[in-house]
Structure 1
Amino acid sequence: MTLANPARLPLATLVILLLNFAAAFFTLGNSDALLKWGFTPGPMAAMGVGERFITAFTSMFIHLDPVHLLGNMLFLAAAGPPIERVAGPIRFAGVYLLGGLAGIGLHALMSKFVMVAAAGEPIAGASAAIAALVGYALLRFYRVRVPMLPKLYVPLYAIILVWVLLQILGGIWVVRQFGGAVGFWAHLGGFVMGLALAFLFGAGRVMYDEAWTEHLSEAEARGEAAKGAAAKGRLTTSPKDAETLVDLFESADAIGNDDEAIVALTDLAGADPAHRNGFAIRRLAERHALGRIPVARRLRLGSELASSLPDISEFLFQSILEDPPSDDTPKALVSLIELLHASDVRAAKHFANKLDSEHSLAPETETARQRWPDIFG
């Protein structure tokens, strides 16, 4: 699976890239910039809360060595566009910024309680924000290849491995050149935030659905039996997925497996009776198989669908009249009168006469007479 879509310009990705390179132009290799714009978790008497927050933000855009900068920007340039395309520019920017801030927050927390010796050392770089994108991408694109060059697609996990390697090299460079420490806790905080936001935005579910669609297309090419087998596999994890139940019905119907087709329709009627304009109930009615649905369930569904799908509601109530007479029969007749008295008076009177003649002693009959005297008159 690939994600190449040049139709939409990845504006958020481009803006973030430009901000990072612009900051690098003014600060790259400048240790004074680290002190001024980097985030220092330890107490600084001359820095207020507002200024501390500003440096938490600015620290995400400055780098002190080219290896660190290029490593982060490589991943951002390669994986940013597909992530932005599916998440949207607002969510993409949110993952980047919130991931960066979460990483800085965790680094500050660990500096206070664990890495006390590093509390006075400033931290800078986009690594925590990039790690958030890594977390998001791993959940959303675990099957995807991304375009690197024309006709060259690379698995996303390979890009992530390169990014990790460059982070290690960048960390060694920083330690040797500047004597600072690499914010591994910041990376972890950003990564976890990215994963959390991916779960919040339903990224994994979307990817799962896309993978299923691709798998179904491959199965359809092999025939209806393969399509049905694929649908059954999906239903083991998503037993109420309406479209998959439709796929299973279509497969069973195509190969003449009527029993399996009816079971699929019955399951669909239970999972989502209104799906595709009442698809399951219509098909069951065509097969005179609505009796597969319990009477109490048919009465309830008929009432629920009366306003949105009145014809489906009528199918359900009529099917109860086809069953052997029971205490539910007058209930179905009353429901039909209620459904049709305004739109089809003739049909409503027909059911009223049937109710009056065949179930005159039922309590529902007297209630119906009082409610619609013109229909019974």
Structure 2
Amino acid sequence: MTWNSPAMKERAPVATILLLLANLIVAGFTLGVEQAAYTHGLIPAAQGEAWRTQIRPILTHAFVHVDPFHLLVNMIVLAALGPVVERALGFWRLLLLFLGAAWLGGLAHWAIVRMQSSEVAALPLVGASGGIAGLVGYSFLRFFRERVPLFPRVRVPVFLVIGAWLLLEFALAVSSLRTFELASSHWAHLGGLAVGLGLAFLFGAGSAVTEDQYERRLEEAKRSGTEALLGLMKQRIQDRPEDAQALQSLVRALVEAGRSQTARETLVELAQRGKGEVPVVVLGLLVEHGWAASLPAKVRIRLADQAAISNPWLAETALTSVLEEPSSEDTADALASLVTLLADRDEAAARRYAKLLRTEHAGSFQADRIQRLYPHLCENS
């Protein structure tokens, strides 16, 4: 089992616990010790070649806290948001998000504060606020409407946690600018927040939110009844035709509700009137449920030709279903499409269908066309 496996995401938030322990253990040595901030904090005032000496503080400053209140604020937010984010991202991505936001936020602080007064640039940057800001940025996009455990049996919306954090950090930033006390920097926060937002997009937080919303709507539709399920199915097919699993769950919900015929009729309508890839997706659902014959033969042939490249199995299945019906002009069209589909994939099968076409539909347009296009398949047939 890997750290990032689905099963791991359901277990204890190990990465969050490790980050909390690391901060608390280091705090046991640094709380109230101002010199620790100058020894392990990030000081932008380094000049010339001295920037090389800042590499270690860039890595260590995020775990150093001198002020107990600063530590308390950061640990509360980390304990509230960390487990939720970790279950969404997994162990390694949570660490990447926190450490990347902390370190890049520190670099943003270092680069910008160096251009300010020497008094400000001489102050060390300490604290996990940059990493916390990264969690805030990710959570803002991914879990804005979710509730997180703040205390035992107390769950609050993420936007309240984020709002409280922003207010507290704003107060700390204003205080640090006025008094020049050792405090975290709002530039580090902004840098960490930007990293969190960027990684949220990179990790697909936007699409994950859409999926969460869809799951909630699906549960609501199941409670509301058939019409709500049908409406959701039509919209889902239009919005995300490639998501066959979600569409299958909608069809299954309708079948379980005793509305198989309604589901079939709706799919047939979508197959005939849909645009783009939607009809092909619907054809796949009809074939999977054994409802392909509900589609007119001409529609099946047209959609099979459309699906020939992306899903040759589906195309062949739809076309052979036409052959199971009484012989007609559509049968000749289906045979011709099968020969075209299988000419480069299964020559023996293509020859069989070419022979059927020439035997049962001799002189037809399709028989003559296949003879011209694939003469080698029609030899001795």
Same fold? TM cut 0.5:
yes
Which of residues 21, 32, 41 is equivalent to 2:35? 32
Amino acid at match of 1:119: A
2:61/2:126 contact within 8 Å kept? yes
Q: Relative to structure 1, is the Cα distance of residues 237 and 93 closer, same or farther in structure 2, using a 3 angstrom cutoff?
A: same
1:302 aligns with 2:304: no
Corresponding residue for 2:201?
199
The answer to whether residue 146 in structure 2 is matched with residue 144 in structure 1 is yes
Are the structure 2 counterparts of residues 232 and 6 from structure 1 closer, same or farther at C-alpha, using a change threshold of 3 Å?
closer
Residue type at the aligned position of 2:298: G
Partner of 2:371: 365
Alignment root-mean-square deviation, CA: 3.8
Q: Shift of the alpha carbon at 1:354?
A: 3.6
- Residues 348-357 or 73-82, more deviating: 348-357
C-alpha deviation, 1:284, in angstroms: 5.9
State the one-letter code of the partner of 1:12.
A
CA shift at 1:159, angstroms? 2.1
Residue ranges of structure 1 left out of the alignment (5+ in a row): none
Alpha-carbon separation, structure 1, partners of 2:119 and 2:329: 81
Q: Contact between 1:299 and 1:317, CA under 8 Å: does it hold in 2? A: no
1:78 aligned onto 2:80 = yes
Partner of 1:263: 269
Identity %: 28
TM-score by length of 1: 0.80
Aligned to 1:335: 340
Q: Residue 122 of structure 2: SS of its match in structure 1? A: coil
List runs of 5+ in structure 2 lacking aligned partners: 1-7
Residue-by-residue CA offset, 1:283-313 (whole Å, 9 max, x unaligned): 6622033534683x53242354335774245
Measured in 2, the distance between the counterparts of 1:337 and 1:40 equals: 70
Instruction: Give the SS at the match of 2:308.
Output: helix
The 8 Å contact of residues 146 and 155 in structure 1, kept in 2 or not, is answered as yes
Cα separation, partners in 2 of 1:255 and 1:63, compared to 1, 3 Å: same
Is the CA contact 1:136–1:195 (under 8 Å) kept in the aligned structure 2? yes
**Residue aligning to 2:94:** 92
Matching residue's letter, 1:128: G
Following TM superposition, by how much is the alpha carbon of 1:361 offset from its aligned partner in structure 2, in angstroms? 7.8
Please show how residues 146-161 of structure 1 align to structure 2 within 5 Å: 146-161=148-163
Would the alpha carbon gap of residues 190 and 228 (structure 1) be closer, same or farther in structure 2, given more than 3 Å must change? same
- Using the alignment, how far apart are the partners of 1:136 and 1:156 within structure 2? 11
Q: Which amino acid aligns with 2:377?
A: R
Alignment of 1:1-377 (within 5 A): 8-44=11-47, 47-49=50-52, 51-113=53-115, 118-168=120-170, 170-171=172-173, 179-180=181-182, 182-232=184-234, 234=236, 238=240, 241-243=243-245, 245=247, 254=260, 256=262, 260-266=266-272, 267=274, 270-271=277-278, 273=280, 278-281=284-287, 285-292=292-299, 295=302, 298-306=304-312, 310-312=316-318, 314-315=320-321, 331-332=336-337, 334-335=339-340, 338=343, 342=348, 349-354=355-360, 356-359=362-365, 362-374=368-380, 376=381
